[in-house]
Structure 1
Amino acid sequence: MRQRSLFVRALLTLIAGWIALGFVTPAAAVVVTPTTPDGWAPANVRTNATVAITTAQPRSGAGSLEFTTNTITPGQDKADYEKTWTPTDFPARTLSGLTALSYEYYRDSSSTTLAHLAPVLRLYVVDVTPTSPTFGKYALLIWEPAYNGTTPTPPVPTDQWITQDILNGKFWLFVPSGQSIPSGVVQNYNVTLNDWITGSPVGQPGDPAPINIDANTLVFGINVGVGSGWGATFRGFVDNVTARWSNDEVHANFEPDPAFRCIDILLDDFNRANTTKGLGRNWTGATNTYRIAGNQAQPFTTAGTIFWNAQPRVFGADQAACVTLAQIDPNGKHHTLILKAQSVTNYTRGMILVSYDATSQQVIVETVEPGQSGWTTRLNVPVVFNHGDVLGAQALADGSVKVYRNGVQIGTATTSPFFVNRGGRIGVWFHQTSGALFDDFGGGNTTP
C-alpha cells in the first residue's frame, strides 16, 4: 500500500512539473475547412487578390489553400491566411523552442509576376521580457524563397508542390504600425531564427529598430500569403503548414467542406414503365399532373405539389431533399424542392420551397406558415444550373436552410421560429415548368 502511495505522489509531482513548464498535450494534424476553420481566416485581402480553400490543386486530400492576384492598382495585390492565439495561453510556444517549421507551396505556370515569387510564411512574435524596452510589442518574422536560395535568385519551379523545411532558413522582420514604436521593414535578409534570438541584427540606415527577440520571445500566430507589390498576375497554393514545439503542434491541412451527399439517400430513380399520368403509389398529392417518361419524371403545365409517401413519410427536424434536374426548362421558374411540409392538401399550414428559377438564373428559398398571407422570400442566390445538375437542400432544426448545387453549398437561409425543431414531409413542385425532366429524388433525415 505504501509503494502505491509513493507512486501516486511521484506521478502528481511529475504532472505538476509538466504544468509548471507549460506542457501542452500533443495536437493532432487538423483538417481546416471553411466551416471548421480551427482559428484560420483570411486577412489583409485587398481588391486585386483572393484567397480561399478550393479543390483546384489538391495536396493531402481533396483541396488546398488557393491564392490569386491580378494587379490593376499597385499595392492592391495582397492576400493572407492566418491563425493567431493568445500568447499567455501557450507559454511553451517560444521562438527558441520551435523544433519544426515547414509548409508546402505551389506556383502555377499561368503566373506572370516575377519568377522568383511564391507564397511566404510569417511568424507573429511578441517580446515578453519585462525589462525590455519593447516589452509587449510584436513583429512578424518572414520567410520567403527569394532570400533562401542562391544569387542571383533562381525561379520558383512551377506546376509542382514544393515541401519546404524552413526552421533553419533566413527570416526578415517587419514591425507593424500602431504600437508607439517606429514601424516598417528591417532590411536584413541574411538572418536565421537563431541569429534573431542570440544576436542583435539590425537593418539599413533609416530602418526601424527591431523589437527585442530573445529566448523568451513567444510565437502567437502563423500567416501565409502573397503580395503586395508583385505586379502582373499570380496563382498559387499552400498546404500542410506545420509549427512544432516538441509535443505541441500547429498543423493545418486545408480541405473543402465535405460534399453534401443527399443523393446517396435515393428514394426514387423513376426507372419503370412510362405512364400517361401518375408516378406510382410511393407519391401522394397532385400526382396526376406528372408522368413517367423514359425512366424520368415529367411535369405537366398544371403540375402541383407532390410528396414522398413511403414510410416514414414525415421526417425529423433535420431533414434533406434533393433531385437531379435532368432537363431544365429555360422558361421555368419552379424547379422546386419541398421541405418541412405540414400538410399534403393545404400548403398554408407550413412549407419550405427551394426553387431553381432558370429565367433569372438563381435559387430562391421561400416559406409559408399559418397566419401568413403569402410566400416570404428568405434567400436569393445567383447561380447557373445545367442539365444533369443536382439541386439539394437541408432544412435544419435551428430553422436554417442550406442550399446545394452538386453537393457544394451555395447559400444559407434563415427562416422563422415556426420551422425550428419542426419536421415535415418532403417533395417537389414543378409549377408551370413543363419543359423540365427530373430524376433520382432523394432525401430523409440528415445531420447538420
Structure 2
Amino acid sequence: MTTPAGVVNGPYSDAPAFDVWQRVNIAAIASVGITGDYPRSGKGSVLLDSGDVNGRTTWQYSRTGGFGPLSSFTSATYEWYRDASSTVAAHFHPTYLIQVDNDGNPATTGDQSWLFFERGAMGPYTAPTGTLVTETINDSTKMWVFQVGAANTQNPVTTMAQFKAGAYVPEAGGFAIPATATILRIRVSTGTGWPGTFRGAVDNIGIVAASSVGPDNFELAPPPPATVAPVPATDLWALLSLSSLLAGVAAWRQRRRRS
C-alpha cells in the first residue's frame, strides 16, 4: 500500500489516528519510514534504523473499535529484514506486537497487555542477515507478555490458542487476560534496550481476526505527473492585424516598383 509516511528521525510520533499506519514513539538516534532501501513486493518497504541502545522504532496500526475479541484471532503475518551492518546481538530482529485491552475501553490503560512475538525469547536463535524472513503467527505460536507492574520475564510459555481461551497465567504483579479482551492495535518494533545498532526493514504486515487488515505492502509514493507547458492560444484579432500589416507592406512595395 502507498502511504504518505516518509522517513522521520526521533524523537517523533505521528499525531494519533485510526485505520492508518503510523510512526510512534521513535526514540532519539532512530529513523522510520517508507524507503526504497530494501524493496519488497515492489519498490519499497518500511525502514527501521536505530543507532544505539536508546534507539527505538515503531510502525503501528490502530483499528477504530479494535480488531475484535482475542478469541477471534486467526493469524498474523509480517516480513522482516536484518541488514548485516547491524551490531545488536545476533538473535534480535523486528518484533510483532499485539495490544489487547481487557474491558475494550482504551481510556482505561491499567488492564492493557502487549503480546510479543520474538524468536530470541523462545530459545537460542540467530537471525539471518541480508535476506527476507516471512513470519506467520497462529494458534501454536508462543508469545511473551508485557504488562505494567508485572515481572515481564519474556518467558513465552503461552500459545495464542491459550490466549484465545483465556488460559493465560499471569506473572507476579500481572493480571489475567480474558478471551473477551479486545485487540486494539498491532505494531512492529525494534530497540528499547538493544545494545548496539540495528538496521533493517519490514513489509507485508497483517492480522486476521473479527476485523482484519492486510497484509499491507508498503510502497514509495508515486512521482507527481509531469507538467506540460500550455500552448498559448492564438488571438484571432492579432492574426487579422498581422494579415493586414503584411498586405500593406506588399502594396507599398508594388507602388515603389511602378514609380
TM-score range, shorter chain: 0.7 to 0.9
Show the counterpart of 1:290.
none
- Report the AA paired with residue 86 of structure 2: S
Aligned mates of 2:173, 2:29 — CA distance in 1: 29
Residues 171-192 of structure 1: per-residue CA shift (max 9 Å, x gap): 111124xxxxx35625432221
Relative distance call for 1:135 and 1:78 in structure 2 (3 A) is: closer
Show the counterpart of 2:250.
none
Residues 144-198 of structure 1: per-residue CA shift (max 9 Å, x gap): 12134xx4x121111111110012311111124xxxxx35625432221222343
1:100 aligns with 2:75: yes
1:164 aligns with 2:132: no
Of 29, 41, 44, the match for 1:48: 29
Residue segments in structure 2 that go unaligned for 5+ positions in a row: 7-17, 235-259
Higher strand share: 1
Aligned mates of 1:77, 1:184 — CA distance in 2: 23
SS in 2 for 1:147: helix
- Scaled by the length of structure 1, the TM-score of the pair is 0.45
Aligned mates of 1:33, 1:55 — CA distance in 2: 14
Aligned partners of 2:73 and 2:208 also within 8 Å:
yes
1:249 aligns with 2:249: no
Residues 212-223 of structure 1 mapped to structure 2, 5 A cutoff? 212-223=176-187
Aligned partners of 2:61 and 2:185 also within 8 Å:
yes
Aligned mates of 2:113, 2:26 — CA distance in 1: 19
1:123 aligns with 2:98: yes
Residues 236-385 of structure 1 mapped to structure 2, 5 A cutoff? 236-245=200-209, 248-251=211-214, 252-262=216-226, 265-267=227-229, 310-311=231-232
Aligned mates of 1:120, 1:187 — CA distance in 2: 13
Of 90, 105, 116, the match for 1:142: 116
1:312 Cα deviation from its structure 2 partner:
5.5
Identity over the aligned pairs, expressed in percent?
Answer: 28
Aligned mates of 1:158, 1:312 — CA distance in 2: 60
1:69 aligns with 2:50: yes
Aligned partners of 1:147 and 1:190 also within 8 Å:
no
1:113 aligns with 2:88: yes
Show the counterpart of 1:201.
169
SS in 2 for 1:142: strand
- Report the AA paired with residue 78 of structure 1: R
Residues 121-147 of structure 1: per-residue CA shift (max 9 Å, x gap): 1111010289xxx99721111111213
1:38 Cα deviation from its structure 2 partner:
4.6
SS in 2 for 1:118: coil
Show the counterpart of 2:59.
81
Aligned mates of 1:242, 1:194 — CA distance in 2: 18
Relative distance call for 1:188 and 1:57 in structure 2 (3 A) is: same
